[in-house]
Amino acid sequence: MPSPGCIQLLAKQDDKCINGACEIGSGMKNLPGEEMYDIPLSIADNTGCINRCLLLGQVAQNFLGLSVGYLKNEWVQEFSRLSDDDKTNLKWNYLFERVTIQFK
């Protein structure tokens, strides 16, 4: 998740930012980190494969279709509440006849 002060990635929400120029890291401000998803995937069709693609932050949010009408972090909670079957159905929305997308 990124630090809200400088977008430095943090391992978990209660981690401190190590960027000395960041107002959050220096202790001048105290804001919670924002949880976000990074989606690793591979894309293949009949011509070849692109490995190690990564959808980050807002792109991942838009890809999952959970951003419309949601306030900050509500889409993360919405995705977390999906059952495994719902997540599988969501994945199948992105599989095409001649293209394979593998979530890693």
pLDDT tens digits, 54-77: 888 778 777 777 654 444 556 667
Q: What values do phi and psi take at 66, rounded to 5?
A: -105, 5
Task: Using CA atoms of 21, 23, 28, 32 in order, give the dihedral in degrees to the nearest 10.
Answer: -140
97 pLDDT exceeds 60? no
pLDDT tens digits, 22-48: 766 655 565 555 566 778 888 887 788
For the full predicted model, state whether its pTM sits above 0.75. Answer: no
Paired tokens of 34: 């924002």
**What are the CA-CA distances from residue 34 to residues 4, 62, 66, 79, 100 (Å)?**
7, 16, 16, 15, 31
Q: What values do phi and psi take at 58, rounded to 5?
A: -60, -35
Closest C-alpha among 104, 94, 88, 97 to residue 41: 104
